[in-house]
Structure 1
């Protein structure tokens, strides 16, 4: 694998050379290869074993302010030349856009620290199958009411990519991703409840044990048996870390360049205004070793940086790539491609303490649907979880809707949990929000 980055770099340079020879005034290329496999078992039988080896090149060329893009999985010289020609043809047929073009050369990354992203797993498929089987067996052993399995799966992949542009930038990234998951169904009479659990990391030695993943999947399925429906009401809601990440993901979308220049964000005029309670900070930290979204440069090669996006509840910055920045009359913030490790910071307490603080309300453990309006901030999602009385879980609930407006929801955060999952691009624990509407779903 040590020769692969050099091979990809040569392919990227060949693409840039063909683009220049074909009349491009600027060009950029991303060349990547990934390989790995995934295995799934169901009822202890191997359901699938899939090996994957992908190669891809994506090129964007500029003729003045005319832009064309093409991609291919053929990394031969003829394949690369054909794709470049297609991109040039598209550019010649495209209208002028004065905001199109490469990122400013002065903003490109020049420092490339080792971010500890590459941890290949020399795991034989037979051992992967055994791990998946152990995960499923642990889930099924939790309770005799777990009678069906939707299976357990293990995956391991390694990716090597090169980004290069005609400013002379060349960046190489080698990274791995590994994961293990399981889903089972608990049955009690006519009541059937499904749930799952998972673990993922760049480092295989940081994955949760197979037995622990299975046991948690089984426990989560069983505890949902006997779910009731709620009456429509307003109540505080505690979002588990997995679901709280979605809330902050909506925030990221609302402060990103595409939504801003299209005027399609509910936070359009919120810069330097309070959007969260005092005491909450949102930080970008792109240089965390081994983290899910660590990178020294964004998808255009612009250097990333530590940033304070929210300071004591006040919005302090946007997430901009070069194109969006030009449309807005601003400068790139090094966020083409998104946010690079978002940390939600503030005073934290245990989930149990948050339940005590809530007293009476909903712990939501599952959300369904995509009812988030990025323009207005209106939020409405199908949900399931547990009703809380006197700070304790009283009984499971399902077939309900959680509704509010994200701008109000962010301002009404009254507690953060210390139950952070160790591996996620958005690091947050549970989040307690006051005053949401809970509505029974129509039957």
Structure 2
């Protein structure tokens, strides 16, 4: 076979086609008697290829399309969707949503965004770069990446496989208050998982690369080699005693701490009073050398968008200044529940960057280990032990014991514990080893002391 993912075939509709479809939905909603309505139509296509031990395991192609509509009868709303984009099916979908809205209780916070909040400026952020790759070519890349891991060392004894995926789509969102916007987008990736050792001393680790632009992906061989190195470094694993130690979160895990903050300041958690950062605006919630910026307008970035999931204008802002929280992450609904104004974060944050005024360019991971001196480098977290109501944090972990700024050996079967409020305030350094995953960017994070439960 010679199957190639063709951008034209995976997205047969044009932007004007989609605009006509959402206009049809909005028009029919008004005819039914809806006070307001919103509609979104989208289609996407993807290719995913996985291999193991040099053999193709799966080749999956996806093709999806849908139209969703939400209609309002005052402050009551109803929603419905369809994968059939014919005019008749769209009208039936609108009528189904309207029938739901008519029998739904009023919710005073429900409704479309105010006109003043809707996006007016919609710059091209260059979020679409198709990867015209065939399934054979994708398999060759994956096999090459896996081979790089397997060939790296005789101690790499097995593989959980490698994968290559490419995905692109297009959407248009519109509402009855005059907003219409949409754009094509893409995302591509490659991953390898290697297994080191044998018998009772076997360990796995992985690495991956992802980007909107295929040319910005790391080389497959580099991904494979790094996955192998990470797996090999685990072979020295042993247990440690219970105590309190400084903890350095490797950059990919440090992103999770940034994610914990965004969860705690999200509108849903705030209006439900299910967060330890309730009523924290204008208060210090992190160490005073820390800043968090949000920039939705970085061209080609995974977290970029000129408007949020409701069509609200996104804005660049300083979310955190010298550890002081300047704003929440609110949608229209959650903002109304709080008596506030939407921040353009329906659907999440947009390119958050956590940085420190103490960070120097030379503060890579080895430098951060030296700053820590003696303590624990954490590279994997296990379980979901975070209580966002209290901030209590307890996670199983894997990592490395560090003395005098040098890794001594891997450590396993231990738990790190603390409280997120204290952890945020006790961050003493951010590394220059920054990594971006999705909509968040940070370097490694050093916390001066956490409780460690070992043997």
TM-score normalised by structure 1 residue count: 0.97
Q: Would the aligned equivalents of 1:61 and 1:67 in 2 still touch at CA under 8 Å?
A: yes
Describe the superposition over 1:299-343 as per-residue Cα deviations: whole angstroms up to 9, x where unpaired: 111100011111011111111111111111111111111111101
Q: Tell me which of 199, 204, 215 is aligned to 1:194.
A: 204
Aligned to 2:440: 426
Say if 2:237 is the partner of 1:227.
yes
Q: Tell me which of 52, 62, 87 is aligned to 1:52.
A: 62
Tell me the number of residue pairs that the alignment of Structure 1 and Structure 2 aligns.
Answer: 441
Q: Aligned equivalents of 1:184 and 1:351: distance in 2?
A: 22
Aligned to 1:35: 45
Q: Tell me which of 139, 145, 163 is aligned to 1:153.
A: 163
Say if 2:326 is the partner of 1:316.
yes
Q: Tell me the CA shift for residue 421 of structure 1.
A: 2.0
Q: Tell me which of 397, 404, 410 is aligned to 1:383.
A: 397
Aligned to 1:262: 272
Q: Aligned equivalents of 2:372 and 2:151: distance in 1?
A: 34
Aligned to 1:411: 425
Q: Aligned equivalents of 1:76 and 1:371: distance in 2?
A: 47
SS class of match (2:206): strand
Aligned to 1:119: 129
Q: Tell me the CA shift for residue 289 of structure 1.
A: 0.9
Q: Aligned equivalents of 2:377 and 2:74: distance in 1?
A: 55
Aligned to 2:254: 244
Q: Aligned equivalents of 1:159 and 1:253: distance in 2?
A: 27
SS class of match (1:200): strand
Q: Tell me the CA shift for residue 280 of structure 1.
A: 0.8
Q: Aligned equivalents of 1:189 and 1:127: distance in 2?
A: 35
Q: Tell me which of 305, 315, 327 is aligned to 1:305.
A: 315
Q: Aligned equivalents of 1:72 and 1:402: distance in 2?
A: 46
SS class of match (2:402): strand
Q: Would the aligned equivalents of 1:420 and 1:429 in 2 still touch at CA under 8 Å?
A: yes
SS class of match (1:223): helix
Q: Tell me which of 347, 368, 374 is aligned to 1:354.
A: 368
Q: Aligned equivalents of 1:95 and 1:371: distance in 2?
A: 36
Q: Aligned equivalents of 1:59 and 1:235: distance in 2?
A: 53
SS class of match (1:372): coil
Describe the superposition over 1:225-276 as per-residue Cα deviations: whole angstroms up to 9, x where unpaired: 1311121111111111110111111100111111111111110022111111
Say if 2:59 is the partner of 1:13.
no
Q: Aligned equivalents of 1:4 and 1:208: distance in 2?
A: 31
Q: Aligned equivalents of 1:373 and 1:282: distance in 2?
A: 23
Q: Aligned equivalents of 1:63 and 1:76: distance in 2?
A: 25
Q: Tell me the CA shift for residue 188 of structure 1.
A: 3.8
Aligned to 1:394: 408
Q: Aligned equivalents of 1:373 and 1:85: distance in 2?
A: 42
Say if 2:154 is the partner of 1:140.
no
Q: Would the aligned equivalents of 1:403 and 1:436 in 2 still touch at CA under 8 Å?
A: yes
Q: Aligned equivalents of 2:299 and 2:305: distance in 1?
A: 10
Q: Tell me the CA shift for residue 423 of structure 1.
A: 5.2
Q: Aligned equivalents of 1:390 and 1:188: distance in 2?
A: 31
Aligned to 1:370: 384
Aligned to 2:453: 439
Q: Aligned equivalents of 1:418 and 1:97: distance in 2?
A: 47
Aligned to 1:332: 342
Q: Tell me the CA shift for residue 3 of structure 1.
A: 4.6
SS class of match (2:278): coil
Q: Aligned equivalents of 1:185 and 1:3: distance in 2?
A: 44
SS class of match (2:235): coil
Describe the superposition over 1:50-107 as per-residue Cα deviations: whole angstroms up to 9, x where unpaired: 1111001121111001011112222222222222122111111211111110000111
Q: Aligned equivalents of 1:83 and 1:400: distance in 2?
A: 52
Q: Would the aligned equivalents of 1:188 and 1:225 in 2 still touch at CA under 8 Å?
A: no
Unaligned runs of 5+ in 2: 1-7
TM-score normalised by structure 2 residue count: 0.95
Aligned to 2:3: none
Describe the superposition over 1:174-227 as per-residue Cα deviations: whole angstroms up to 9, x where unpaired: 111000001011124420100001000001010000100000011111110131
Q: Aligned equivalents of 1:233 and 1:173: distance in 2?
A: 52
Q: Tell me the CA shift for residue 399 of structure 1.
A: 1.1
